[in-house]
Structure 1
Amino acid sequence: MGYDAIVVGAGPAGLIFSRKLAEKGFRVALIEKNETLAVKPCGEGISARVLQTAEVSRSDTQRFISRPIKGAAVVAPNGRQVLITEKGEMGYVIDKKNFLRVLGEYAASNGVEIYMREPAKEAALTNGRVKVRTRTLVLEAPLLVGADGYLSFVAKAFNMEKAGERKVIPAVQYVMTNVRVQDPELTYFYLGNSIAPKGYVWIFPKDGTLANVGIGVQGAPPKPYLDGFIKAHPEIFERSKIIEFRGAAVTIGGMLSQIVRDHVMLIGEAAGQVIPLTGGGIHTSIAGGKIAAEVASKALESGDFSARVLSEYVSKYNEYWGKRIKDSLKALHAIEKLSDDELNQLAEILSPEDVVNLANGENIMSVAAKLLKHPIFSIKLAKALLS
């Protein structure tokens, strides 16, 4: 079965890449190892800009938006809140499975051939063609794209991931009923070394009284901390019940040093395209998939699939998104070393805009300039951000 491109992994990156390449008239095969979409747990919060980047029709948003988000509350260990708001809708809590179904529908309507329950088992490059064997298929194309997450088969099959290069942390999430937060149109993030060591707890209210309640930590099992947090907050969870439980790893180590080679590209979490401080990867992955598709179409038109040609994708991605990931990683490395007392002080010093910039890896120089004036944080944070 011959194609112009084979994509492994039907997450946000793989679906948008496949669609954008197929829109240009190329034959694309998309293979997914799981039986359904969106198996990996996710807080399911997105900014309003995601829908623009993903080019989703406004009429389709009702199919996957659970609740609009008007802001976020970041809660320091002592309970102090930094409230982040914007005029209008800041973003949405979505049903990720339905969101991916819409993206899958767009891809299929443009001619992408989607194969579910077809894990990639073998892949080899011979005479300018990549042959991929799955559970029941043998596919061949001049271009292979790995959009298959942090356990990327493609990255390992083509030696694109160095030993120990990818840093992941464990995360667990419950879907809970009867969650009573102060304002269901806010998302909530709780910090503290006794709450979530080198990580955070999140509460993302969904439709009705449902909410995604999760945690990511470093150096410890996450579930006991999440259970402890729930027990410590009866005002939120006294009447709550867990109706879903999922666990997975989240990439927080930044982008891999090699995400292209001859005839092969990595996109999305497979490439490390995740904001390290937040663990958010939907927007960064969709952006990666679109940029990669643009470069891949040029390679298909010219017939040149060399790493030199495909590396245009890397340079274009790094102009904005790669820089954000790199700067967020700097912030993560600095903040994860702070004590609870220092986190409390930081909540008093930083403005809501500063918190957003740190979390997203944007305008961190302005945050560093403010912290340089503080005797403690000039050394512990500012210099790390400026390095």
Structure 2
Amino acid sequence: MYDALVVGAGPAGLMYSRVLAAKGFKVAVVEKNEQLAVKPCGEGISARVLKTAEIEKSDYNRFISHVIKGAVIVAPNGKEVIVKEEGEMGYVIDKKNFLRVMGEYSASTGAEIYMKEPVKELTFQKDHWLVKTRTMELEAKLLVGADGYLSFVSRTLGLEKPGERKVIPAIQYVMPNVDVHDPDMTYFFLGNDVAPKGYVWIFPKDGRLANVGIGVQGAAPKAYLDKFIKMHPEIFKKVDILEFRGAAVTIGGMLSEIVTDHAILIGEAAGQVIPLTGGGIHTSIAGGKIAAEVTAKALEEGNLSKQRLSEYKDKYNEYWGKRIKDSLKGLHAIEKLSDDELNQLAEILSPEDVVNLANGENVASVAVKLLKHPLFSIKLARALLS
């Protein structure tokens, strides 16, 4: 009998299992894939992520591919908004190695991790779950769904309503010889001809490798990414494609229900992704951490009711949930803008405004600035302040 069984060994599940096992609880993690980090990812993180994840600095070199000093956001007309900070703004990581380190930390606290064990059946029996995987039957007092945007747990438990989760298709190439102006910067390209209601990204990695990807709405991502590469020979003159992956990304905000009796959702399974950027590593690690702190107390009290576990949702919403909600407001407003309006926005917003808007932080200050402009007062500011 486990105190908690976590479905999914991504950032949320590994953080949750580590924190809970470190408190002396018996925890198991079951992962459907044979290896970690199967889903494609731009692999860019802010420096703050590693602090939230409590990774030792001595382990950074095991997964950091490149130190990033800033970002270049390119408007449809080619105008660049350059975001820079003193020191290290973030990193491009090797996500597989990053999750290996997180898995190592989790296992070192006593969590048991089982790979290639997709969940086949979930049955609640009086006061605990019976979980059948490919080769095992496990029992647990608490079930934790950390199984991503195709969450078996969320759908089986009825926490995810039909059509509630909004996803967009995203694809990514890993390419050598990508010739960007400054390899210490990340690049984001906007425009309805570039990536309808989305963006193209270039994240330089170690050597001359780069992650080159796209997320779009209502369009074929590969066709647009291939067109973008063809239209920019100055960047992609000598490239090849070493890897090609595709997946969907949750951009609709958090699910309305992420807690029920004896069960919770964390990470992308719960919709813990910043909608405007599609970034979910930091939000998922934070979700796993907060959930573990709350469920540890609930387990000690012997109370795993929905009401008791709802403290996790409340604590998450204080900061992270608000960011996700505000970013979703920004996404809904920006995805309606024409290329001309996106160009005007690039003239108005400062680099700090762009970062805040993208991350769902201090959006009220961005809205106040936009209120001074008649066009954006109607189209953006009011939406952000609603």
- TM-score interval (norm. to shorter): over 0.9
Q: Partner of 1:236 in structure 2?
A: 235
After superposition, give the CA deviation of every residue in 1:320-364 in whole Å (9 maximum; x if it has no partner).
000000000000000000000000000000000000000000000
Shift in Å at residue 386 of structure 1?
0.8
RMSD: 0.4
Q: Aligned partners of 2:33 and 2:20: how far apart in 1? A: 23
Q: Aligned partners of 2:220 and 2:238: how far apart in 1? A: 25
AA paired with 1:278? Answer: T
Q: Partner of 1:45 in structure 2?
A: 44
Shift in Å at residue 269 of structure 1?
0.0
After superposition, give the CA deviation of every residue in 1:177-220 in whole Å (9 maximum; x if it has no partner).
00000000000000000000000000000000000000000001
AA paired with 1:362? Answer: E
Structure 2 counterparts to residues 80-91 of structure 1, below 5 A: 80-91=79-90
Shift in Å at residue 124 of structure 1?
1.4
Q: Partner of 2:381 in structure 1?
A: 382
Q: Aligned partners of 1:171 and 1:178: how far apart in 2? A: 22
Q: Aligned partners of 2:127 and 2:80: how far apart in 1? A: 56
Q: Partner of 2:189 in structure 1?
A: 190
Q: Aligned partners of 1:6 and 1:299: how far apart in 2? A: 15
Structure 2 counterparts to residues 93-242 of structure 1, below 5 A: 93-242=92-241
Q: Aligned partners of 2:374 and 2:233: how far apart in 1? A: 38
Shift in Å at residue 299 of structure 1?
1.1
AA paired with 2:44? Answer: G
Q: Partner of 1:279 in structure 2?
A: 278
AA paired with 1:315? Answer: D
Shift in Å at residue 384 of structure 1?
0.7
AA paired with 1:86? Answer: E
Number of matched pairs: 386
Q: Aligned partners of 2:249 and 2:258: how far apart in 1? A: 18
Structure 2 counterparts to residues 342-381 of structure 1, below 5 A: 342-381=341-380
* 1:242 alignment partner, SS class: coil
* 1:106 alignment partner, SS class: helix
* Structure 2: segments with no counterpart, 5+ residues: none
After superposition, give the CA deviation of every residue in 1:37-87 in whole Å (9 maximum; x if it has no partner).
000000000000000000000000000000000000000000000000000
Q: Aligned partners of 2:373 and 2:181: how far apart in 1? A: 32
Q: Partner of 1:246 in structure 2?
A: 245
Q: Aligned partners of 1:78 and 1:63: how far apart in 2? A: 39
1:294 aligns with 2:267: no
Q: Aligned partners of 1:226 and 1:77: how far apart in 2? A: 15
Q: Aligned partners of 2:380 and 2:133: how far apart in 1? A: 47
* 2:374 alignment partner, SS class: coil
* 1:77 alignment partner, SS class: coil
* 1:117 alignment partner, SS class: coil
Structure 2 counterparts to residues 47-62 of structure 1, below 5 A: 47-62=46-61
AA paired with 1:115? Answer: Y
After superposition, give the CA deviation of every residue in 1:128-175 in whole Å (9 maximum; x if it has no partner).
111100000000011000000000011011000011100000000000
After superposition, give the CA deviation of every residue in 1:252-295 in whole Å (9 maximum; x if it has no partner).
00000000000000000000000000000000000000000001
* TM-score, normalisation: structure 2: 1.00
Q: Partner of 1:269 in structure 2?
A: 268
Shift in Å at residue 224 of structure 1?
0.2
Shift in Å at residue 18 of structure 1?
0.2
Q: Aligned partners of 1:52 and 1:371: how far apart in 2? A: 33
Q: Partner of 1:71 in structure 2?
A: 70
Q: Aligned partners of 1:124 and 1:72: how far apart in 2? A: 47
* 1:329 alignment partner, SS class: helix
Q: Aligned partners of 2:219 and 2:287: how far apart in 1? A: 31
Q: Aligned partners of 1:335 and 1:5: how far apart in 2? A: 41
Q: Aligned partners of 2:131 and 2:184: how far apart in 1? A: 45
Shift in Å at residue 221 of structure 1?
1.1
Q: Partner of 2:29 in structure 1?
A: 30
After superposition, give the CA deviation of every residue in 1:225-265 in whole Å (9 maximum; x if it has no partner).
00000000000000011000000000000000000000000
Q: Aligned partners of 2:368 and 2:245: how far apart in 1? A: 40
Structure 2 counterparts to residues 330-341 of structure 1, below 5 A: 330-341=329-340
AA paired with 2:172? Answer: Q
* 1:181 alignment partner, SS class: coil
Q: Partner of 1:325 in structure 2?
A: 324
After superposition, give the CA deviation of every residue in 1:285-319 in whole Å (9 maximum; x if it has no partner).
00000000001101110110000000000000000
Instruction: Please list every run of at least 4 consecutive aligned residues from structure 1 whose deviation after the TM superposition is greater than 6 angstroms.
Output: none
